[in-house]
């Protein structure tokens, strides 16, 4: 049962990725960054960047190495993808 659910999610993600169209790739300003760490091993931490995208603040999750090398005020290259399935996503180009 769980295997079928995992397979369905994987196939759905693959279809969403291949059917999506790149809307825009541009440099956006990092306005804040936050690192969340938990005391328990069962909960993973998060490296968050807050980016101003056309007047809207978007929260992005990234790898620790990219988070460490990015500072508030930096411009990072992002690509925005539009999906016909409704699951739009943002990709960090430099990661």
Provide the residue ranges of all domains of the chain, joining segments of one domain with +.
20-92
Residue 17 in tokens: 């990725």
CATH of domain 20-92: 2.40.50
Look at residue 73 in the predicted model and tell me its pLDDT: 94
pLDDT of the chain along its 95 residues, tens only?
Answer: 677 888 888 888 888 888 888 888 999 999 999 998 877 776 678 899 999 998 999 999 999 899 999 999 999 999 999 988 888 888 888 75
CA-CA distance, 95 to 92, in Å (whole number)? 6
Structure confidence at residue 42 (pLDDT): 67
Count of beta carbons in the 10 Å neighbourhood of residue 90 = 14
Which two structure tokens, joined as six digits, stand for 42? 């069962």
Q: Output the pLDDT for position 28.
A: 94
Q: Counting beta carbons within 10 angstroms of the beta carbon of residue 74, is it exposed (0 to 12), middle (13 to 18) or buried (19 or more)? A: middle
| Beta pairing class for 56-61 and 75-82 | unpaired
């Amino acid at each position: 049962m769980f295997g079928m659910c995992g397979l369905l999610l994987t196939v759905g993600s693959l279809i969403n990725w291949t059917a999506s169209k790149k809307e825009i790739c541009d440099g956006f300003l990092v306005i804040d960054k936050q690192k969340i760490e938990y005391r328990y091993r069962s909960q993973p931490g998060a490296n968050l960047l807050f980016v101003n995208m056309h007047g809207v603040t978007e929260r992005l999750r990234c790898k620790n190495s990219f988070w460490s090398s990015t500072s508030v005020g930096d411009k990072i290259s992002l690509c925005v993808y539009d999906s016909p399935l409704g699951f739009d996503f943002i990709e960090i180009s430099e990661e």
